[in-house]
Amino acid sequence: MIPDADTPEMNLHLPEDTFFTNLQGNPAEIPLRFERLFRTYLPNLPFVATNALDLQTFADLGKCHCRLRSKPFASFVVDWGGPDEDRLVPDHIQGVWDVSWNEHSLQVVHATWQTECGRQQRYWVFALDASIAREFMLELARQTNDPGESVLVFRSGEWERSEEMYQMIRSTSLDELILPGTQREEMLADFHQFLIAKDQYDALGIAWRRGAILMGPPGNGKTHFLRTLVQQLKIPCLYVQCLDHPYYTSEQLLDLVFDRARQLRPALLIFEDLDSLINEENRSFFLNQLDGFEKNTGLIVVATTNHPERIDSAILDRPSRFDRKYEFGLPSQSERQRFLYLWRDKLSKLVPWNGDAIPQLVESSADFSYAYLKELMVSSLLRWLHGNSNPASRPPFEQVLSEQCELLQLQRMPPNDV
Ligand SMILES: Nc1ncnc2c1ncn2[C@@H]1O[C@H](COP(=O)(O)OP(=O)(O)O)[C@@H](O)[C@H]1O
Ligand SMILES: [Mg+2]
């Protein structure tokens, strides 16, 4: 039934085969075909079209209610949410939603199709008045753009929210991070002072932006420090995990990365293992993005690397790109000692160990990274707890520690080979 052309009606009754029929043929015509259909079935109902609308996140944030219509027929798949979200999560690639938001009723049509350059999609938002549709879209964009209690992670050519990473960051303890002298406090102060110094930067005519690179052999606290930095700065955190995509060019990918970070300023943009993200092909685009004076105001870019020698000097050695370099070296003798005492206290409720063997362990763990020292503690604990089912006949914990230390010495790879 085609409604009377003069009756404004807020009910989008599309034919059962809408998606089946209109998602065929030349992809360039698909949006036009849908819009012709809307005009035929609902000539007076205004709509606004967009390529991105994170309706699910907006609903998850409790900002609107939406219900998928059973008609027209739409196909969808379910994905497992992973061990942390152990349920089947539906992934709709097309459908018609009834949305209620702030006393308003809206309807959203979503269509996805494949082109030679990957997946394309379009959303049409219908409301009795186009201004309501626009207000809704603006509010949705603002709210879903804000990462809130999540970290934005860039992979597969798009930004995704990760609540899991946010929780992991929250549970990382600054007190457990051991660094030489006052390095830890100085680094944190450097970022804190930057954040509150916008007026001074402006007065001096200096761009209010900051870049730092954390470098050193694996397992010495670069990632651990970054997590505590995110915890402390309390600004949006964007984390670049992968810069590969089958269709997007490097330039497009880096645009997507920096554009989103700029929208959230002041923000912290993290490139972990920079040497594996930047290569000859994308280096010039990366430099282009870093160099913007105006456009990077309020952006803190932090990179880490286990292999600074693999990073081009154009990135590493120009102060305007990464102003500061922080070294995360292997622990010294006294730092190994601090680490082992910290663990003795941490394990005090689990194992009878007064720390007697620490001086000897400090000597025999020269060249261990912190991650190796941690492995020494964890593997010794597991061995001691589970090596003998009868607690009374367990060997002294010191003995297990020294055996494990010897074993790790043998297994240990030179730090730069990881
Ligand atoms: N400086 C440190 N002080 C205390 N623990 C550390 C330190 N460095 C590393 N660790 C331990 O080793 C683990 C792995 O270190 P990580 O920060 O991932 O190293 P990196 O990023 O330098 O390769 C950390 O989660 C932490 O438990
Ligand atoms: Mg790391």
Q: Where are the alpha helices (DSSP H) in 130-210?
A: 130-145, 163-170, 183-195, 198-204
The structure tokens listed for 145 are 């753009």
Q: Which ligand is nearest to the CA of 343?
A: 1
Say what the pLDDT of residue 44 is: 85
Question: pLDDT digits over 396-418, tens only?
Answer: 899 999 999 999 988 875 555 44
Calculate the CA dihedral of residues 169, 170, 175, 177 and round it to 10 degrees: 0
Compute the mean pLDDT over every residue in the chain, rounded to the nearest whole number.
91
Residues 6 or more apart whose Cβ sits within 8 Å of residue 311 = 274, 275, 278, 305
Can you say whether residue 181 is alpha, beta or left, with left for phi > 0 and alpha for psi between -120 and 50 degrees? left
Return the SS3 of 101.
Answer: strand
Say what the pLDDT of residue 363 is: 94
Checking if the pLDDT of 6 tops 50, the result is no
Question: pLDDT digits over 199-247, tens only?
Answer: 999 999 999 999 999 999 999 999 999 999 999 999 999 999 999 998 8
List, chain by chain if needed, residues with CB within 6 Å of any ligand 1 atom. 176-179, 218-224, 328, 339, 370-371, 374
Q: Where in the chain is the domain with CATH 3.40.50.300?
A: 163-327
Name the phi and psi angles at 164, rounded to 5: -65, -45
Instruction: Specify the CATH number for 333-417; select among 1.10.3470, 2.60.120, 1.10.8, 3.30.160.
Output: 1.10.8
Which residue's CA lies nearest to atom 19 of ligand 1? 219
Checking if the pLDDT of 117 tops 70, the result is yes
Give the Cα separation of 315 and 330 in Å (integer). 24
Q: Which has more confidence, 303 or 394?
A: 303
Q: Where in the chain is the domain with CATH 1.10.8?
A: 333-417
The predicted model scores a pTM of 0.87
Q: Which ligand is nearest to the CA of 272?
A: 2
The yes/no answer on whether domain 163-327 falls in CATH 3.30.160.100 is: no
Residues 6 or more apart whose Cβ sits within 8 Å of residue 238 = 147, 151, 152, 153, 154, 159, 257, 260, 261, 264, 267, 268, 269, 270
Which residue's CA lies nearest to atom 7 of ligand 1? 221
